[in-house]
């Protein structure tokens, strides 16, 4: 993975000093709360319901063992011994003290980490595919470009105070696993007719209050121009995006108001001036960074491993886990594996410091000292030999990290919700836990098959509920918490936004509602169909009819 | 004591302010809120300047003055000779268009100073306006940030082409000086240093 040189380290160190002074001035009363707000936000510090929340950047989801050990130590020293992995591949601390944050940042800087631009109205952490570099369907490893873009976007002076947050995702595989269409800018790298690396660019996607998929603004962009082209897009947005109403301030609203034709016309006009300027990426720079991502010392291995095959054949629990949590790899004899942070009945995405230490050790011993965080809030070892997998499984299982539910109903994507977040209308974690307990039967879960369930505690949509096959949104009705349910959302190349099935439900009703949706699917599905396929074939109506059928749901509120 | 920071060959000093910023009289017309289409979109939620305000603006008869863009455009005939003698600058608001200035003043470098007024420090349009004035319109003279100008934005303002900063009156310009040195070697090219790190340094070593 990318290793800092002196210049990278200096910027992070200087940031610690800058933020330490900003915190000092705030505590001394030299900065008002309003003035301090954007400063702390651009360092990932929210003021939450119980305490501040600190969001630590995990650029494009990559971590080293050393970094994860440090994160574990930080959760023990400054927090309550656990951290929450977020849907933007970052790590959130729920209980740090505002006065401790400069010290936490100083500790992070010792392992080449920071919290820069993890919140606030600026360019956020650039996300990508958790299987980047190892996926068999990958065309271009997007991580080098993601790192080039991370550096470019870090303290970009022109875009330091945008109308609203700005999220970029990049992908280089045939199957999009980075949800590029729901980002402010989405980039897909591919090889063009001349076998050169090119970029397809989407703009104006996003979830939140007005969910909308991005539109293609450019089918073909030479990779060298990635930065200047983004500058053109973001400049038009910075100058003309709305600043009078936070709910109308995302770039998607501007793109919609102008229309994609007018918007691209303005972007093209800007870009004519920026194209070829010094921020154009030279081959040498991309090569320098690329080199750091493809030096894995793989062994030459046969495609199969007898001990692995024997374990699968003789141990049904292991076999069930392999089916869900072990993923194909471009190198023969290697696999990627996912540790589920979704054990039934626990907050999705949470990991204790002990679990983090264990995963860091396993990565050190079996996966070249590196691991990834997925936007589905799980941890991944990307380069594991087949012969090592059984031993890893035993250790992970003992630590509660081997629930075989990846991609299944209980692999719930979930924001921290009303238990922690001051923006939330409703709690999300207890809903996730209740659904997990309702479906706490592995055979049944496997029978239901591939499905994504997403929960957000408010319309800011941190849980990406719009693209969940089943999406649950917490809403506030006269001061009490209710849940709106949508079905038919999907991430990936054929992304779609879910449709609401009808009036909202109380928390107590939610497990039954999900059960009823699943019942309709089980009854109506053809042998090949996943839940999403059945929804797309039949539409919302039969699901709605069953869920709202009289006498089937006991009114509880 | 003055609250004006000026950069001279990269060195920041606190200097006396020799320019008077001319303000528009307050408007008694309710602010128009506009939303929607193309150009109007830019004016969303912003006050527009009325003809009465422009007519009633008091232009001091002597001295170096910075005029609001609307007054400069509408009453240019009154100040032609003073433009030639370098006594006139212009300030624009962050929602105003540089193109409007350029249309009415072909040679921007005849103006010794252009100021951009930022009403709320969190309004980042000022960075794009500075960048455009320097790179697109080739403005070479003093570019000043005025209004809600605070130390934590200075580094970005400097990088966006501003070389003078009128710190908000209730804050110390002396304290603010330090922030201009927050970062030694920023990553990306911008106005003050067009070359990104990957061009300035040999990072493969």
- Torsion-angle region of residue B153: left (phi > 0), alpha (psi -120 to 50) or beta? alpha
Domain extents in chain A:
6-109, 134-290, 306-398, 413-547
pLDDT surpassing 80 at residue B30:
no
Q: Give me the residue from B123, B131, B188 closest to A161, CB to CB.
A: B123
Report pLDDT for B28.
Answer: 64
**Interchain proximity A227–B188, CB inside 8 Å:** yes
**How confident is residue A53, by pLDDT bands cut at 50, 70 and 90?**
very high
H, E, C per residue of chain B: CCCEEEEECCEEEEECCCCEECCCCCCCCCCCCCCCCCHHHHHCCCCCCCHHHHHHCCCCCCCCEEEEHHHHHHCHHHHHHHHHCCCEEEEEECCCCHHHHHHHCCCHHHCCEEEEEECCCCCCHHHHHHHHHHHCCCCCCEEEEEECCCHHHHHHHHHCCCCEEECCCCCCHHHHHHHHHCCCCCCCCCCCCCCCHHHHCCCCC
Closest by CA position to A62, among listed A16, A118, A3? A3
Q: Give me the residue from B41, B157, B196 closest to A258, CB to CB.
A: B41
Report pLDDT for A207.
Answer: 85
DSSP state of A466: G
Give how far the C-alpha of residue A22 lies from the chain's centroid of Cα atoms, to the nearest Å: 29
Give residue for tokens 């491993």. A305
Q: Is B86 an interface residue toward A (CB < 8 Å)?
A: no
Residue B197 Cα, gap to closest chain A Cα (Å): 8
Between B187 and A346, the more confident residue is B187
Give the Å distances, CA to CA, from A248 to A163, A239, A448.
9, 14, 39
**Interchain proximity B182–A284, CB inside 8 Å:** no
pLDDT, tens digit (0-9, with 9 covering 90-100), for A404-417: 999 999 999 999 99
B122-134: average pLDDT: 97
Taking only residues 5 to 34 of chain B, the set having a beta carbon closer than 8 angstroms to any beta carbon of chain A reads: 33
B92-99: average pLDDT: 94
pLDDT, tens digit (0-9, with 9 covering 90-100), for A408-463: 999 999 999 998 888 899 999 999 999 999 999 989 999 999 999 999 999 989 99
pLDDT, tens digit (0-9, with 9 covering 90-100), for A327-384: 999 999 999 999 999 999 888 999 999 999 999 999 999 999 999 999 899 999 999 9
- Return the bridge partners of A169, or none: A127, A186
| Residues A76, B154: Cα–Cα separation, whole Å | 37
CATH number 3.30.413.10 given to A134-290: yes
Q: Alpha helix (H) ranges present in A65-191?
A: 65-78, 101-109, 143-153
Residues of chain B with Cβ-Cβ distance to A258 below 8 Å are 38, 41
DSSP state of A419: G
The residue of chain A nearest to residue B149, with distances taken between CA atoms, is A35
The residue of chain B nearest to residue A36, with distances taken between CA atoms, is B152
Between B138 and B49, the more confident residue is B138
Residue A43 Cα, gap to closest chain B Cα (Å): 13
Token digits of residue A503:
């009036």
Write the CATH number of the domain with boundaries A6-109: 3.90.480.20
Report pLDDT for A554.
Answer: 52
Q: Is B39 an interface residue toward A (CB < 8 Å)?
A: no
Q: Are A350 and A95 in contact (CB under 8 A)?
A: no
Is A490 strand, coil or helix? strand
Query: Would the CATH topology of A306-398 be identical to that of A413-547?
Result: no
A2-11: average pLDDT: 96
Q: Alpha helix (H) ranges present in A185-304?
A: 226-240, 251-258, 260-274, 283-293
**Interchain proximity A11–B185, CB inside 8 Å:** yes
For residue A183, the tally of other CB atoms under 10 A from its CB is 27
Number of helices and strands in chain A (H, E): 18, 20
Residues of chain A with Cβ-Cβ distance to B43 below 8 Å are none
pLDDT, tens digit (0-9, with 9 covering 90-100), for A517-552: 999 999 999 999 999 999 999 999 999 999 999 755
**Interchain proximity B124–A238, CB inside 8 Å:** yes
Report pLDDT for B150.
Answer: 97
Q: Give me the residue from B122, B125, B187 closest to A152, CB to CB.
A: B187
| Residues B11, A509: Cα–Cα separation, whole Å | 66
pLDDT, tens digit (0-9, with 9 covering 90-100), for A193-248: 999 999 999 999 998 888 899 999 999 999 999 999 999 999 999 999 999 888 89
Q: Is B202 an interface residue toward A (CB < 8 Å)?
A: no
| Percentage of chain A lying above the pLDDT 90 cut | 89
CATH number 3.20.20 given to B4-25+34-200: yes
Residues of chain B with Cβ-Cβ distance to A262 below 8 Å are 38
Report pLDDT for B44.
Answer: 46
pLDDT surpassing 90 at residue A31:
yes
Closest by CA position to A132, among listed A364, A348, A349, A371? A371
Q: Are B182 and B155 in contact (CB under 8 A)?
A: yes
Q: Are A105 and A19 in contact (CB under 8 A)?
A: yes
**Interchain proximity B197–A7, CB inside 8 Å:** yes
Closest by CA position to A245, among listed A165, A184, A163? A163
Q: Give me the residue from A152, A235, A279 closest to B128, CB to CB.
A: A235
Beta-strand pair A127-128/A168-171: parallel
A308-314: average pLDDT: 98
Q: Is B123 an interface residue toward A (CB < 8 Å)?
A: yes
Q: Give me the residue from B41, B128, B182 closest to A158, CB to CB.
A: B128
**Interchain proximity B183–A11, CB inside 8 Å:** yes
Rounded to 10 deg, the angle between the A226-240 and A143-153 helix axes is: 40
Q: How many CB pairs under 8 A join A and B?
A: 131
Q: Is B155 an interface residue toward A (CB < 8 Å)?
A: yes
Report pLDDT for A92.
Answer: 95
The residue of chain A nearest to residue B95, with distances taken between CA atoms, is A239
pLDDT, tens digit (0-9, with 9 covering 90-100), for B162-179: 999 999 999 999 999 999
Residue A228 Cα, gap to closest chain B Cα (Å): 10
**Interchain proximity B156–A284, CB inside 8 Å:** no
Report pLDDT for A500.
Answer: 96
B39-55: average pLDDT: 65
Residue B2 Cα, gap to closest chain A Cα (Å): 19
Residues of chain A with Cβ-Cβ distance to B195 below 8 Å are 278
**How confident is residue B41, by pLDDT bands cut at 50, 70 and 90?**
very low
pLDDT, tens digit (0-9, with 9 covering 90-100), for A161-177: 999 999 999 999 999 98
| Residues B156, A157: Cα–Cα separation, whole Å | 5
Q: Is B122 an interface residue toward A (CB < 8 Å)?
A: yes
Give the Å distances, CA to CA, from A366 to A103, A131, A296, A304, A402.
32, 16, 12, 17, 16
For the domain with range A413-547, which CATH number is right: 3.30.930.10, 3.40.50.1820, 1.20.1250.20, 3.30.413.10? 3.30.413.10
Q: Which residues contact A395 (CB under 8 A, 6 or more apart)?
A: A358, A362
A28-46: average pLDDT: 93
**How confident is residue B40, by pLDDT bands cut at 50, 70 and 90?**
very low
pLDDT, tens digit (0-9, with 9 covering 90-100), for A74-96: 999 999 999 999 988 899 998 89
| Residues B177, B152: Cα–Cα separation, whole Å | 10
**Interchain proximity A10–B184, CB inside 8 Å:** yes
**How confident is residue A267, by pLDDT bands cut at 50, 70 and 90?**
very high
Give residue for tokens 């238990």. A419
pLDDT surpassing 60 at residue A138:
yes
Supply the pTM of this predicted model.
0.91
Residue B38 Cα, gap to closest chain A Cα (Å): 6
Mutation to test the A interface, candidates B37, B40, B152, B167, most A Cβ within 10 Å: B152
Residues of chain A with Cβ-Cβ distance to B37 below 8 Å are 257
Q: Are A128 and A178 in contact (CB under 8 A)?
A: yes
Rounded to 10 deg, the angle between the A316-325 and A386-398 helix axes is: 100
Q: Give me the residue from B35, B194, B204 closest to A288, CB to CB.
A: B204
**How confident is residue A135, by pLDDT bands cut at 50, 70 and 90?**
very high
| Residues A140, A198: Cα–Cα separation, whole Å | 10
Report pLDDT for A150.
Answer: 97
Report pLDDT for B46.
Answer: 54
**Interchain proximity A288–B36, CB inside 8 Å:** no
Residue A7 Cα, gap to closest chain B Cα (Å): 7
ipTM: 0.94
| Residues A204, B118: Cα–Cα separation, whole Å | 27
Report pLDDT for A397.
Answer: 97
pLDDT surpassing 90 at residue A103:
yes
Residues of chain A with Cβ-Cβ distance to B148 below 8 Å are none
Beta-strand pair B65-68/B20-21: parallel
Q: Are B92 and B128 in contact (CB under 8 A)?
A: no
| Residues A249, A205: Cα–Cα separation, whole Å | 13
Closest by CA position to B1, among listed B180, B178, B167? B167
| Residues B113, B115: Cα–Cα separation, whole Å | 7
Q: Alpha helix (H) ranges present in A211-259?
A: 226-240, 251-258
Report, at the CATH architecture level, how domain A306-398 is classified.
Answer: Alpha-Beta Complex (3.90)
Mutation to test the B interface, candidates A161, A166, A288, A289, most B Cβ within 10 Å: A161
Residue B22 Cα, gap to closest chain A Cα (Å): 25
Q: Give me the residue from A5, A235, A244 closest to B203, CB to CB.
A: A5
Report pLDDT for A553.
Answer: 53
């Amino acid at each position: 993975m990318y290793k800092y040189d002196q210049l990278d380290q200096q910027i992070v160190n200087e940031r610690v000093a800058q933020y330490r002074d900003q915190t000092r001035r705030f505590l001394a009363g030299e900065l008002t709360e309003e003035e301090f707000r954007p400063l702390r936000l651009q360092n990932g510090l929210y003021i939450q319901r119980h305490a501040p929340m600190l969001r630590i950047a995990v650029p494009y989801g990559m971590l080293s063992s050393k970094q994860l050990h440090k994160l574990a130590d930080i959760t023990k020293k400054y927090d309550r011994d656990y951290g929450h992995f977020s849907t933007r591949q970052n790590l959130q601390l729920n209980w740090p003290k505002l006065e401790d944050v400069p010290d936490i940042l100083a500790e992070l800087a010792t392992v080449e980490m920071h919290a820069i631009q993890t919140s606030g109205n600026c360019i956020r952490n650039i996300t990508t595919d958790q299987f980047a570099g190892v996926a068999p369907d990958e065309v271009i490893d997007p991580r080098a470009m993601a790192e080039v873009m991370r550096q470019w976007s870090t303290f970009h002076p022109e875009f330091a105070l945008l109308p609203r947050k700005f999220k970029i995702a990049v992908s280089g595989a045939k199957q999009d696993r980075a949800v590029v269409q729901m980002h402010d800018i989405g980039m897909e790298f591919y090889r063009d007719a001349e076998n050169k690396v090119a970029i397809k660019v989407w703009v104006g996607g996003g979830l939140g209050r007005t969910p909308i998929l991005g539109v293609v603004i450019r089918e073909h962009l030479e990779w060298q121009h990635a930065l200047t082209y983004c500058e053109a897009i973001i400049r038009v947005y910075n100058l003309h995006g709305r600043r009078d109403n936070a709910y109308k301030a995302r770039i998607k609203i501007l793109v919609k108001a102008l229309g994609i034709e007018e918007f691209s016309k303005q972007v093209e006009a800007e870009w004519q001036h920026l194209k070829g300027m010094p921020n154009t990426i030279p081959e040498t720079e991309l090569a320098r960074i690329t080199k750091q991502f493809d030096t894995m010392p793989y062994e030459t291995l046969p495609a199969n491993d007898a001990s692995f095959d024997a374990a699968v054949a003789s141990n049904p629990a292991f076999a069930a886990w392999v089916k869900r949590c072990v993923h194909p790899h471009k190198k023969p004899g290697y696999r990627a594996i996912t540790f589920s942070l979704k054990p039934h009945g626990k907050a999705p995405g949470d990991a204790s410091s002990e679990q983090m230490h264990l995963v860091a050790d396993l990565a050190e011993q079996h996966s070249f000292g590196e691991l990834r965080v997925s936007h589905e809030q799980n941890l991944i070892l990307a380069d594991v030999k087949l012969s090592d997998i059984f031993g890893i499984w035993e250790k992970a299982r003992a630590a509660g990290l081997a629930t075989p539910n990846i991609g299944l109903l209980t692999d719930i994507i979930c924001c921290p919700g009303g238990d922690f977040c001051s923006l939330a209308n409703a709690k999300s974690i207890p809903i996730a836990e209740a659904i997990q307990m309702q479906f706490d039967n592995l055979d049944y879960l496997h029978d239901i098959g591939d499905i994504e369930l997403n929960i957000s505690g408010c319309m800011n949509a941190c849980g990406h509920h719009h693209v969940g096959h089943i999406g649950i949104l917490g809403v506030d009705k006269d001061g009490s918490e209710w849940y709106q349910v949508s079905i038919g959302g999907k991430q990936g190349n054929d992304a779609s936004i879910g449709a609401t099935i009808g009036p909202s439900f109380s928390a107590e009703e939610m497990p039954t509602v999900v059960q009823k949706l699943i019942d309709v699917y089980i009854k109506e599905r053809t042998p090949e169909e996943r839940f999403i396929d059945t929804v797309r074939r039949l539409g919302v109506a039969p699901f709605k009819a069953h869920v709202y059928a009289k006498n089937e749901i006991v009114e509880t509120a | 004591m003055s609250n004006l920071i000026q950069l001279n060959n990269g060195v920041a000093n606190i200097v006396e302010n020799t320019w008077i910023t001319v303000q528009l009289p307050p408007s008694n017309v309710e602010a128009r809120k506009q939303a929607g289409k193309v150009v109007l979109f830019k004016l969303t939620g912003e006050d527009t300047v009325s003809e009465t305000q422009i007519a009633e603006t008091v232009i001091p008869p002597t001295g170096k003055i910075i005029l609001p863009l609307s007054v400069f455009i509408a009453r240019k005939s009154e100040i032609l000779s003073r433009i030639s003698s370098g006594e006139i600058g212009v300030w624009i608001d962050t929602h105003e268009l540089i193109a409007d200035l350029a249309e009415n003043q072909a040679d921007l470098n005849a103006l010794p100073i252009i100021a951009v007024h930022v009403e709320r420090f969190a309004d980042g349009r000022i960075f794009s306006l500075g960048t455009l004035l320097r790179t697109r319109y080739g403005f070479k003279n003093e570019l000043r940030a005025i209004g809600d100008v605070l130390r934590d934005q200075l580094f970005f303002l400097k990088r966006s082409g501003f070389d003078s900063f009128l710190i908000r009156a209730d804050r110390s310009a002396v304290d603010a000086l330090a922030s201009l040195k927050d970062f030694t070697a920023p990553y990306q090219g911008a106005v003050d240093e067009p070359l990104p790190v990957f061009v300035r340094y040999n990072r493969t070593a």
